[in-house]
Amino acid sequence: MKNPLFDSVEDLVLHRPPLLLLQSVSHWDVGHVEAIADPVDSYLFADGEGNVPAWVGLEYMAQAISAYAGIIARQNGEEPSIGFLLGTRRYDSHVDSFTPGQQLRVNVREVFRDENNLVLFDCDIHAGEDLLASAQVKAIQPKGAIQIKPDETFKEQ
């Protein structure tokens, strides 16, 4: 059955390959998104054996937050718009790197949102049943933020 809100993660996130690190959104509900990533798609960050450093997990989390914001925008009949990662607390990785072929499940859960659209998320990354990384991430999507279509380029006015 076709999803009524989006066909692919590219409909939700402004990144494009090779900087788009998510493959898909596998589940969402109020306050939560689960996205899928494969370290093979993160080849720009990989070492000679294809292993991706654990710190890239923060970008997986940030892109899953972007997908979450994109879903909210689509539900409101709007296009996804730019947001900003403000920081993280307690990024805790149980691995040194993510390995090629691992299917990573990136979960983000909204914990707090203020009137300025500053949002705190609890995030984690799993491979199978194994918890690989977790963090709290702060992000903001300012009201009236510039909406950029991925195929547009900046042009000097």
Percent with pLDDT over 90 in the chain: 82
φ, ψ for residue 124, nearest 5 deg: -150, 160
Mean pLDDT taken over the chain: 91
Higher-confidence position of 152 and 120: 120
**E-strand stretches of the chain:** 22-29, 32-37, 52-53, 84-93, 97-98, 104-113, 118-127, 130-140
Say how far apart CA 49 and CA 61 lie, in whole Å.
23
Average pLDDT over residues 48-76: 97
> pTM of the entire structure?
0.90
pLDDT tens track for 74-123: 999 999 989 999 999 899 999 999 999 899 999 999 999 999 989 999 99
